[in-house]
Structure 1
Amino acid sequence: MLTFAQAVTERTLRLNTRLCVGLDPRRDAYRDAAHLKSHTLEVLEACAPYAACVKPQLAFYEALGLEGFGILEEICAAARTLGLPVLLDAKRGDIGSTAQAYARAWLTGQHAGAALTVNPFLGFETLTPFVDTARENGGAVFVLVKTSNPGQADLQGSGVSERVAVEINRLNAATPEGEYGAVGAVVGATHAGDLATFRALMPRALLLLPGLGAQGGAASDLKGAFHADGTGAIASASRGVQYADGLSVASSVEAARGFRDGLNNALNQA
């Protein structure tokens, strides 16, 4: 069975796509929860051919209460049926047994993803339960390094992001050359000028590049995140796909195809 990193890389090369489709269903866009679920599943199925993986944002499912967790489980099951690796965006982070519980909750089970975003800013030792659980289950964690929001500089500047990158590289040190480890990194697509630096600091880490589209990240600026063979990174678009034009699934497909093509064109730039 392929690990998360292997599955993403295989799909990237086979389908020639570097797009991660985010599924962030907003309750106020729908008549009711059933409408939210059906539309989200339709977008998932229709956009799957253009996606290297899918990224549900846990907050939007939590906001629906227990019903939302049921919907999330159905989304994860549908993605697995479609052959799409599931990266759950939850940005979890805590200490000791609480971190272990979060790791079990969101890296194992039918409701969980094969990969999870995690927050390192409580200290690097807090990553251990997440990394260990991911490795045991063939999954991955994506550690926040330099996020896409403008306020990230409050805590992630002055060399802090680079220090986190060095730690990620250490955690992946045993990964064979030419492969990607279980510890990936979140580097915003809005930081195009920094991507080549982080690529060099973390040669064995998959990079998740959030912020494509609605947050201002442009596919044409992201070449620096990739290795020469076109692997090593996935760029995430959520609102720009799911709500490309209201609830039009056809527009979602067109947007996903456009992001895929834009990323591929960027890689072909001199």
Structure 2
Amino acid sequence: MKSLIIDKLFNRVKERGVVCVGLDTALEYIPSYIFEGRSEVEALVEFNKAIIDATIDVAACFKVQIAYYESLGLKGMMAYKETLDYLREKDAIIIADIKRGDIAATAKQYAKAHFEGDFEADFITLSPYMGMDSIEPYMPYIEKGDKGIFSLVRTSNPGAEDIEMLKTVDSRDVYKVVGDKIAEIGKEVIGQCGYSSIGGVIGCTHVEEGIEIRKRFKNMFFLIPGYGAQGGKADDVALYLNSGNGGVVNSSRAILLAYKKQEGREKEFAICAREEVIRMRDEIKAAVESL
């Protein structure tokens, strides 16, 4: 059995912990002094590089949310590219949070755009709610072994109840139907670690479902949002992991803005980010050990 990208991510979690650093970088997050003598793009990239350098050895991976860059137009997309380039230089595992959900020829172009060229990433996020044919165009890349996806399954936002919790004719929740189908496709690309390169986005804010979800999707690696700002706690996250692995836990604002919680540390923003990653990592590890 050949090694897949999911094996690399699994091993990073073993080595560095479960934290996924979210580079959802808004201009207002950046300390004012960084803009001195720099353009907005230069300041954004400088900020991201400092965060990456400070956290690379204590984070499993980095998630770059494309919307924060698209909103700035062409200059923002240059910052996106330069951030991806720098992550690749550091041998970081990159999750491009793009949430594409189209089919056929359009999806093939999305796959080419984000698995090759200027915007290449290791994993991308997808929305499967048009059907499983929205996943198929990405499979040739995934089957080669060095790419993977995280498909939306059970999200952490309140509006998830509108669709994901609807009952189907066989009394399953919609998200379970979606998850079951994703898990079935994922059997084609199981790594040496026992997890599939087709993972799921599983929010940690629905604690009462945590144990069932982990048991139901045993070969699915989770990208777990909802920790911190959305109310998820370390004890909640622990339910979605398997002995501290089987998922990565994303945090964005809490890491990027950690310096704002401590007066006078603006110029130590990267150190503050590192401290927050370590605090989060250790808190989740302790919660796992207490189960």
Partner of 1:192: 207
Deviations 1:175-233 (A, max 9, x none): 267421121000112123222222222211110101221221112211221223x2211
Alignment of 1:243-262 (within 5 A): 243-246=257-260, 248-262=269-283
CA distance in 1, matches of 2:20, 2:76: 22
CA distance in 2, matches of 1:127, 1:241: 31
Alignment of 1:201 onto 2:201: no
**Unmatched runs of 5 consecutive residues or more in structure 1:** none
Partner of 1:12: 13
Contact 1:106–1:112, Cα closer than 8 Å, also in 2: yes
Contact 2:63–2:97, Cα closer than 8 Å, also in 1: yes
Partner of 1:61: 69
Alignment-mate amino acid for residue 152 of structure 1: A
SS of the aligned residue for 2:25 comes to: coil
For the pair shown, the structure with the greater C-alpha radius of gyration is: 2
Partner of 2:117: 109
Partner of 1:21: 21
Alignment of 1:181 onto 2:181: no
**CA spacing shift, 1:95–1:226, aligned 2, 3 Å:** same
CA distance in 1, matches of 2:13, 2:211: 20
Contact 2:4–2:191, Cα closer than 8 Å, also in 1: no
Partner residue of 1:231 out of 222, 237, 245? 245
Partner of 1:147: 155
Contact 1:165–1:198, Cα closer than 8 Å, also in 2: no
Alignment-mate amino acid for residue 7 of structure 2: Q
CA distance in 1, matches of 2:24, 2:191: 35
Partner of 2:263: none
Of the structure 1 ranges 168-177 and 59-68, higher mean CA displacement relative to structure 2 is found in 168-177
CA distance in 2, matches of 1:94, 1:53: 26
SS of the aligned residue for 1:50 comes to: coil
CA distance in 1, matches of 2:100, 2:211: 27
CA distance in 1, matches of 2:116, 2:206: 32
Contact 2:153–2:200, Cα closer than 8 Å, also in 1: yes
Moved over 4 A (4+): none
Q: What displacement does 1:155 show?
A: 1.1
Percent identity over the alignment? 28
| TM-score where L is the length of structure 2 | 0.86
Deviations 1:67-121 (A, max 9, x none): 2222222212222222210000010010210011111111222422110000011
Alignment of 1:171 onto 2:185: yes
**Unmatched runs of 5 consecutive residues or more in structure 2:** 167-172, 261-265
Contact 2:21–2:61, Cα closer than 8 Å, also in 1: yes
Contact 1:187–1:195, Cα closer than 8 Å, also in 2: no
CA distance in 2, matches of 1:19, 1:29: 20
Partner of 2:289: 268
CA distance in 1, matches of 2:225, 2:270: 22
| TM-score where L is the length of structure 1 | 0.93
CA distance in 2, matches of 1:214, 1:35: 25
Aligned residue pair count: 268
